Amino acid sequence: MKEEKKLAYSVERFADLEVLRYYVPGFESLSLRQKTLVYYLSQAALEGRDILFDQNGKYNLRIRRLLESVYLHFNGERNSDEFRAFEVYLKRIWFANGIYHHYSCDKFMPGFSQNFLENAVKDLDVSVLPLRENETVEEMISDLFPVIFDPSLYPKRVNQADGDDLVQTSAANYYEGVSQSEAEAFYAAMKDANVAEPVMYGLNSRLVKENGVVKEQVWKIGGMYSAAIEKIVYWLRKAEEVAENKSQHEVICLLVKYYETGDLKIFDEYSIEWLKDTSSFVDFVNGFIETYGDPLGMKASWESIVNFKDVKATARTETISRHAQWFEEHSPVDERFKKEKVTGVSAKVITAAMLGGDLYPSTAIGINLPNSNWIRSKHGSKSVTIGNLTDAYNKASRGNGFREEFVYGEEEKDLLEKYADLTGELHTDLHECLGHGSGKLLQGTDPDALKAYGSTIEEARADLFGLYYLADDKMVDLGLVPDKNAYKAEYYTYMLNGLMTQLVRIEPGCAVEEAHMRNRQLIARWCLEQGKSDHVVEMVKRDGKTFVRINDYERLRTLFGRLLAEIQRIKSEGDFEAARSIVEQYGVKVDAVLHAEILERYRKLHLAPYKGFVNPVYSPEKDEQGNIVDVRISYEEGYAEQMLRYSRDYSNL
Ligand code: ZN
């Protein structure tokens, strides 16, 4: 019998975070050329780290460097409470790529005193401090300390509060000196409703006002963030030489050209080539991709992931994709909003080999790109679910007491034990492979019509599409689930999460803000309310504790279908008022009493509500001529060790 090596998944815990390790099964059996390609792309994935820090707040890089100097050179007592609190603060900043919580976007408040940091800084040799030219230590302190210690100064990275000037009240570094209405006017003037294939305006630039003129600072070689982008391009050019095929070679060439010019038309060309390349075994994302960090949802944060295909698990998503047309035709949405022909829904399960930028350390488990609306409707999109990361999450959470505390009864626990891993993955597959790619906008609908509510509505649409079909007999017919009861595990998990347990991520007194969380609460609360008279789903009390009980799974499915139809209508028609009303009514507000109860129950479990990953380390082995003859992978590096190494070796800005 083959002996199975016991793998450790948990690396460390601090604040509300747990750092895990993921493994890269199959790397050793890649060809030398593929390993080399992964290595070069991994380097490119790490070179953009500083870009994200700067995008997340204009003081982030200087604060990180100051704190790292203190951390490395501190002369005092490292076992003191103040130093320990300092260490936690720095670890949180590494995790969040800045001084704001990666999920809630609120500024971290240090658990140590201003006095402690001031003494520690003044105790250091000035040569290790990140001073600007001619800057004194005192000046640096008076510049940075208020940003660290004053809770009212730049308190939030992304503010989504309805009615505020979202640009001026958000600390994200995408705008400088402009108001929300000026930014909106700037881009409204660029948009031309007659252009059938519009670029994603504003995607790769910072918007500033200089001498009264509003203009873009474009992120490209020779523009903003040039030093980091040059390094990214250096590695991409090396990757180009070991590309697997012509199509992938072209993808990398176009990406380089885009980084050189900042031309969003070339980015669209690149995106199309990238989504068409489904034959390459190794694949990657590297660029300004997702817009969640911009309060107006236009400007993209930098991210990267390098991966290769998980052949066995991909058979599952290929089955789903092959039947995309059937799913589109049978969906409960109005015929006018359906695509006549669902094109290019490609799907695969991948093994992540390197995470960078906005995908590190906190990461996504499914990705569907590109984001451009016209490209998606004309050329389709590429969908992946990341098998080895999901696996690490599942393995790390076994036996942690969560289900025992929150799941209603034995029947539900058995369901989850039996099916939840599988149906969870399947829901992600359906969300990414079919959900985002389904449906269409009515002619003339502005793709940005839903503004700040767009992301929530889009995620709700994809989630509902998946939920609706999980319970379909087609799942059993296609051999994707073992029997007709399996879907109930995901229904229960989803409702429990949306109604209750995801609130462990929210501070007392705060509202739900992040798009995926709003979407889950919207769906769960809407179904709870709409099914109330029939007792489809109930919140029941037992021994003073609240539980979710689902009485009628089939009718819950009907409710998911009804809501899917309405959400698709809102999206297709660009009905901003309806989007605002449904999101604000169901997705945002938190029941304070229930929230307090959940936090208290959760606290007793001593679990971390957020998780992220350290990356493996790749080391090329070279012969005397400098040719790579092998690439080794290792999993020994610790969290602080990795962060400090990245700050030393990839500090480009
Ligand atoms: Zn999604």
| 3-state SS record for 590-623 | CCHHHHHHHHHHHHCCCCCCEEEEECCEEEEEEC
| Matching residue, tokens 């509505």 | 457
Q: Could you tell me the distance, in angstroms and rounded to a whole number, from the CA of residue 432 to the centre of ligand 1?
A: 6
Q: Could you tell me the distance, in angstroms and rounded to a whole number, from the CA of residue 288 to the centre of ligand 1?
A: 17
Between CA 238 and CA 626 the distance in angstroms is 14
Domain endpoint, select from 127, 155, 183: 155
Examine residue 335 and state whether it is found in any structural domain, yes or no.
Answer: no
Examine residue 165 and state whether it is found in any structural domain, yes or no.
Answer: no
Q: Could you tell me the distance, in angstroms and rounded to a whole number, from the CA of residue 519 to the centre of ligand 1?
A: 10
Q: Could you tell me the distance, in angstroms and rounded to a whole number, from the CA of residue 516 to the centre of ligand 1?
A: 8
Residue 347, pLDDT > 80, answer no
| Matching residue, tokens 């519009």 | 198
Q: Where is average pLDDT lowest: 115-129, 387-401, 422-436?
A: 387-401
Give whole-number Cα distances, 122 to 39, 72, 91, 125, 149, in Å. 41, 14, 22, 8, 17
Q: Could you tell me the distance, in angstroms and rounded to a whole number, from the CA of residue 462 to the centre of ligand 1?
A: 6
SS (H, E, C) 444-460: CCCCCCCHHHHHHHHHH
Between CA 192 and CA 185 the distance in angstroms is 13
| Matching residue, tokens 């948009």 | 191
Q: Which long-range contacts (CB under 8 A, 24 or more apart) does 106-111 make?
A: 106/155, 106/156, 106/157, 106/507, 106/510, 107/151, 107/154, 107/155, 107/156, 107/157, 107/171, 109/151, 110/85, 110/86, 110/148, 110/149, 111/85, 111/86
Give whole-number Cα distances, 506 to 585, 591, 595, 602, 611, in Å. 18, 12, 9, 12, 15
Q: What pLDDT is attached to residue 427?
A: 95
Residue 383, pLDDT > 90, answer no
Helix (H) / strand (E) containing 355:
strand 345-357
pLDDT band at 7 (very low <50, low <70, confident <90, very high): confident
Q: Where is average pLDDT lowest: 219-223, 418-422, 573-577?
A: 418-422
- Residues 600, 626: one domain? no
Specify whether the CB–CB gap between 497 and 475 falls below 8 A: no
Between CA 105 and CA 639 the distance in angstroms is 22
| Matching residue, tokens 């003037």 | 189
Residue 565, pLDDT > 80, answer yes
pLDDT band at 122 (very low <50, low <70, confident <90, very high): very high
Q: Could you tell me the distance, in angstroms and rounded to a whole number, from the CA of residue 460 to the centre of ligand 1?
A: 8
- Residues 526, 556: one domain? yes
Question: Total domain count for the chain?
Answer: 3
Q: Could you tell me the distance, in angstroms and rounded to a whole number, from the CA of residue 291 to the centre of ligand 1?
A: 13
Residue 5, pLDDT > 70, answer no
Neighbouring C-beta atoms of residue 502, cutoff 10 Å? 19
Q: Could you tell me the distance, in angstroms and rounded to a whole number, from the CA of residue 490 to the centre of ligand 1?
A: 17
Q: Could you tell me the distance, in angstroms and rounded to a whole number, from the CA of residue 459 to the centre of ligand 1?
A: 5
Q: Could you tell me the distance, in angstroms and rounded to a whole number, from the CA of residue 568 to the centre of ligand 1?
A: 14
Q: What pLDDT is attached to residue 3?
A: 41
Q: Could you tell me the distance, in angstroms and rounded to a whole number, from the CA of residue 53 to the centre of ligand 1?
A: 24
| Residue 571 three-state SS | helix
Q: Could you tell me the distance, in angstroms and rounded to a whole number, from the CA of residue 489 to the centre of ligand 1?
A: 20
Q: Could you tell me the distance, in angstroms and rounded to a whole number, from the CA of residue 329 to the centre of ligand 1?
A: 21
- Residues 295, 223: one domain? yes
- Residues 82, 193: one domain? no
Specify whether the CB–CB gap between 583 and 570 falls below 8 A: no
Q: Could you tell me the distance, in angstroms and rounded to a whole number, from the CA of residue 327 to the centre of ligand 1?
A: 18
Q: Could you tell me the distance, in angstroms and rounded to a whole number, from the CA of residue 308 to the centre of ligand 1?
A: 21
Q: Could you tell me the distance, in angstroms and rounded to a whole number, from the CA of residue 315 to the centre of ligand 1?
A: 21
Q: Could you tell me the distance, in angstroms and rounded to a whole number, from the CA of residue 455 to the centre of ligand 1?
A: 9
- Residues 427, 279: one domain? no
Residue 344, pLDDT > 50, answer no
Q: Could you tell me the distance, in angstroms and rounded to a whole number, from the CA of residue 414 to the centre of ligand 1?
A: 28
Q: Could you tell me the distance, in angstroms and rounded to a whole number, from the CA of residue 465 to the centre of ligand 1?
A: 11
Question: For a pLDDT cut of 70, what percent of the chain falls above it?
Answer: 98
Examine residue 276 and state whether it is found in any structural domain, yes or no.
Answer: yes
pLDDT band at 395 (very low <50, low <70, confident <90, very high): confident
Answering whether pTM is above 0.85, one says no
Q: Could you tell me the distance, in angstroms and rounded to a whole number, from the CA of residue 567 to the centre of ligand 1?
A: 14
Examine residue 334 and state whether it is found in any structural domain, yes or no.
Answer: no
- Residues 600, 640: one domain? no
Specify whether the CB–CB gap between 11 and 638 falls below 8 A: yes
For residue 123, the cross-strand partners are none
Q: Could you tell me the distance, in angstroms and rounded to a whole number, from the CA of residue 589 to the centre of ligand 1?
A: 22
- Residues 228, 140: one domain? no
Residue 46, pLDDT > 70, answer yes
Q: What pLDDT is attached to residue 312?
A: 78
Specify whether the CB–CB gap between 38 and 27 falls below 8 A: yes
Token code pair at residue 145: 């300390």
Token code pair at residue 79: 């076992």
- Residues 68, 40: one domain? no
Between CA 500 and CA 405 the distance in angstroms is 12
Measured CA angle at 150 (ends 147, 155), to 5 deg: 75
pLDDT band at 366 (very low <50, low <70, confident <90, very high): confident
End-to-end CA distance of the chain: 52
Q: What pLDDT is attached to residue 346?
A: 59
Q: What pLDDT is attached to residue 396?
A: 85
Q: Could you tell me the distance, in angstroms and rounded to a whole number, from the CA of residue 515 to the centre of ligand 1?
A: 10
pLDDT band at 8 (very low <50, low <70, confident <90, very high): confident
Query: Residues 604-612: what's their mean pLDDT?
Result: 91
DSSP3 helix / strand / coil % (the chain, rounded to 5): 50, 15, 35
Residue 160, pLDDT > 70, answer yes
Closest CA to 470 of 517, 423, 435, 433: 423
Q: Could you tell me the distance, in angstroms and rounded to a whole number, from the CA of residue 645 to the centre of ligand 1?
A: 32
Q: Could you tell me the distance, in angstroms and rounded to a whole number, from the CA of residue 634 to the centre of ligand 1?
A: 31
Q: Whole-number mean pLDDT of the chain?
A: 95
DSSP string for 91-155: HHHHHHTSSB-TTT-BBPPPSS-HHHHHHHHHTS-GGGS-PPTT--HHHHHHHHHHHHH-TTSS-
- Residues 203, 232: one domain? yes
Domain limits for position 579: 397-607
Q: What pLDDT is attached to residue 251?
A: 98
Query: Residues 380-385: what's their mean pLDDT?
Result: 85
Examine residue 85 and state whether it is found in any structural domain, yes or no.
Answer: yes
Q: What pLDDT is attached to residue 382?
A: 86
Between CA 266 and CA 357 the distance in angstroms is 22
Q: Could you tell me the distance, in angstroms and rounded to a whole number, from the CA of residue 443 to the centre of ligand 1?
A: 23
Between CA 43 and CA 283 the distance in angstroms is 14
Q: What pLDDT is attached to residue 4?
A: 44
Question: Residue 305 sits in a domain of what CATH number?
Answer: 3.30.540.30
Between CA 239 and CA 233 the distance in angstroms is 10
Residue 1, pLDDT > 50, answer no
Examine residue 402 and state whether it is found in any structural domain, yes or no.
Answer: yes
Query: Residues 619-632: what's their mean pLDDT?
Result: 96
Specify whether the CB–CB gap between 121 and 66 falls below 8 A: yes
DSSP string for 189-216: HH--TT-SS---TTTTEEEEEETTEEEE
Q: Could you tell me the distance, in angstroms and rounded to a whole number, from the CA of residue 14 to the centre of ligand 1?
A: 28
Q: Could you tell me the distance, in angstroms and rounded to a whole number, from the CA of residue 458 to the centre of ligand 1?
A: 7
Residue 625, pLDDT > 90, answer yes
Q: What pLDDT is attached to residue 345?
A: 63
Examine residue 293 and state whether it is found in any structural domain, yes or no.
Answer: yes
Residue 480, pLDDT > 90, answer yes
pLDDT (tens digit per residue) in 62-120: 999 999 999 999 999 999 999 999 999 999 999 999 999 999 999 999 999 999 999 99
Q: Could you tell me the distance, in angstroms and rounded to a whole number, from the CA of residue 517 to the centre of ligand 1?
A: 11
pLDDT band at 342 (very low <50, low <70, confident <90, very high): confident
- Residues 97, 188: one domain? no
Q: What pLDDT is attached to residue 407?
A: 97
Examine residue 216 and state whether it is found in any structural domain, yes or no.
Answer: yes
Q: Could you tell me the distance, in angstroms and rounded to a whole number, from the CA of residue 109 to the centre of ligand 1?
A: 31
Q: Could you tell me the distance, in angstroms and rounded to a whole number, from the CA of residue 353 to the centre of ligand 1?
A: 21
Q: What pLDDT is attached to residue 609?
A: 86
Q: Is the peptide bond before 361 cis (omega within 30 degrees of 0)?
A: yes
Closest CA to 50 of 284, 300, 229: 229
Q: Could you tell me the distance, in angstroms and rounded to a whole number, from the CA of residue 64 to the centre of ligand 1?
A: 31
pLDDT band at 343 (very low <50, low <70, confident <90, very high): low
Q: Could you tell me the distance, in angstroms and rounded to a whole number, from the CA of residue 412 to the centre of ligand 1?
A: 27
Token code pair at residue 91: 């670890």
Q: What pLDDT is attached to residue 6?
A: 60
Which are the contacts of 473, defined by CB distance < 8 A and separation ≥ 6? 484
Better pLDDT: 429 or 128 = 128
- Residues 455, 471: one domain? yes
Task: Provide the edge-to-edge strand list for the sheet that holds 175-176.
Answer: 175-176, 205-210, 213-218
Token code pair at residue 411: 């029947």
- Residues 214, 261: one domain? yes
Q: What pLDDT is attached to residue 27?
A: 97
Q: What pLDDT is attached to residue 280?
A: 95
Q: Could you tell me the distance, in angstroms and rounded to a whole number, from the CA of residue 352 to the centre of ligand 1?
A: 18
Helix (H) / strand (E) containing 325:
helix 324-330
